Amino acid sequence: MTTKYEKLLPRFLGYVKENTRSDEDSTTVPSTSRQTVFLKKLEDELVNIGLENIRIHPVNSYLIAELPSNLDYDVPVLGLISHVDTADFNSENIQPKVVENYDGKSVIDLDDKGEFKLDPKEFSSLKKYAGQTLITTSGDTLLGSDDKSGVTEIITAMEYLVAHPEIKHGKIVIGLGPDEEIGTGADKFDVADFGADFAYTVDGGPVGQLEYETFSAAALKVKINGKDVHPGSAKGIMINALGVANDFQNALPDEEIPEKTAGRQGFYHLLSLNGTVDSAKMSYIIRDFEREGLNDRKAKVEEIVDQLNQKYGANTVEIDMKDQYYNMIDVIKDHMDVVKIAEQAMKNLNIEPDEAPVRGGTDGSKISFMGLPTPNLFAGGENMHGRYEYVAVESMEAAVDVILEIVKLNNERKNN
């Protein structure tokens, strides 16, 4: 097929085949060496495109590159950010499938056996992609549109500007970073070194998403110390760690889980439970749009821990609970001009902005609190983080269009 941006599709297909999954149990930056390998490949690509001051930051491992201004006056420096890692789902041997001219109603078989399907009856979003080209998984891996789409779109936009010097633009800096999916990628982001006056993460979902209100978030690790003895003489002695884990989960509000919440409702989400009678570990994420609500949820966890330790004995349940990021609206509300530029760019392209609060977070949440206002633009993906993930080529093209339109609108913002 032919695309509006010639290299966009092959670039994306090449990127997603690279395994760049992050690892929350790692203590290195990046958390996996495969991200470093990919970042170095991108570094070579950016050199070939013709960007300048290309470097991998020695502390945070962001790949940073610059496109100098070709204006004869100063405008604010635009930053564009995305992440190279993918989520906690099988990402080995990704084999993307291209479905051209999808009719919007047919069932798409992902695997050869027909076990996994994209069915419009289950995934109603498919209906809006009639006549478009979809990129899907092969059923046994994720796709990696989150955020290989964003990486593709940013690099494609930069390549287009280099190839079209007649398009006027101010200075643009891009940052491609690791470990967003494990919540640590932006922890050491260097705003001063990056050098932008305002920025966008290109890390959202379907066309039109413009996000500047996110969850406030915490991560919770629970360790349960059981006591394993022979079951024949266990009465009054045994403490079954798996049973205590069950008590912990059941003590949380049973309606406040992702599958039972929507809109502005927060939740507790059990990610994993592993263990034996002797010892068990649980991993959670905790989400709420309000900082006070997040604090209330953390207080609920501590209350449950106290109750269980009173019941089973001191230190039976131990926790490690840390805040991850906060609702970026607390910062963006004072920089709504950044939102207005993106809104206008979309409207100029006949794209209706969708500004609903995002039930998630982006690196832009942390970066905004570091002093660089960074709302989130759509990257196009649907059903992200699993085998049913897909993205339309036309959605990625639209994201490139929006980036280029933001660049043009920024030309009107002369610095005093």
Q: For residue 374, what are its two tokens?
A: 């960074």
49-80 pLDDT, tens digit each: 999 999 999 999 999 999 999 999 999 999 99
Classify residue 243: in a domain, yes or no.
yes
Do 101 and 119 belong together in one domain? yes
Which residue range forms the structural domain that includes residue 167? Answer: 8-214+327-410
Supply the pLDDT for residue 354: 96
Active site residue 180: yes
Domain harbouring 20, CATH code = 3.40.630.10
Separation of alpha carbons 3 and 1, rounded Å: 7
Place of tokens 């149990």: 25
Contacts of 25-30 with CB under 8 Å at 24 or more apart are 29/59, 29/60, 29/61, 29/178, 29/179, 29/184, 29/188, 30/61, 30/85, 30/178, 30/179
Q: Distance between terminal CA atoms of the chain?
A: 46
| Residue 123, pLDDT above cutoff 90 | yes
Mean per-residue pLDDT, 345-349: 98
Residues 6+ apart with CB under 8 A from 108: 99, 102, 117, 118, 119, 126, 134, 136
130 with 199, same domain? yes
- Express each pLDDT in 234-246 by its tens digit: 999 999 999 999 9
Residue finishing a domain among 324, 347, 378: 324
Residues 293 and 374 in one domain: no
- Provide, rounded to the nearest whole percent, the portion of the chain with pLDDT above 90: 95
Would you state the pLDDT for residue 2? 59
For residues 369-375, average pLDDT: 96
Q: What is the pLDDT of residues 135-162, one digit of tens each?
A: 999 999 999 999 999 999 999 999 999 9
pLDDT for 362 equals 81
Are 51 and 169 contained in the same domain? yes
pTM of the predicted protein model: 0.88
Can you tell me the mean pLDDT for 333-359? Answer: 96
Domain termination site, one of 324, 351, 385: 324
The verdict on residue 85 lying in a domain is yes
Catalytic residue among 43, 66, 179, 180: 180
Residue 135 and residue 279 in one domain: no
pLDDT surpasses 60 at 416: no
Q: What is the domain count for the chain?
A: 2
Burial track 163-189 (b if 16+ CB lie within 10 A, e otherwise): eeeeeebbbbbbbbbbbbbbbbbbeeb
Helix or strand run (H / E) with residue 157: helix 145-163
Quick one: 332 and 314 in the same domain?
Answer: no
pLDDT at 415: 67
What CATH number is given to the structural domain containing 308?
Answer: 3.30.70.360
Exactly one of 18, 43, 66, 85 is catalytic; name it: 85
What type of residue is 132?
A: Q
Could you read off the pLDDT of 241-299 as tens digits, one per residue? 999 999 999 999 999 999 999 999 999 999 999 999 999 999 999 999 999 999 999 99
Q: Are residues 15 and 86 in the same domain?
A: yes
49 lies in the same domain as 147: yes
The predicted pLDDT at position 361 comes to 79
State the DSSP code for 358: P
d(CA 378, CA 292): 28
Which of 299, 324, 349 is the C-terminal boundary of a domain?
Answer: 324
Task: State residue 165's pLDDT score.
Answer: 96
* Residue 43 annotated in active site: no
Residues 28 and 171 reside in one and the same domain: yes
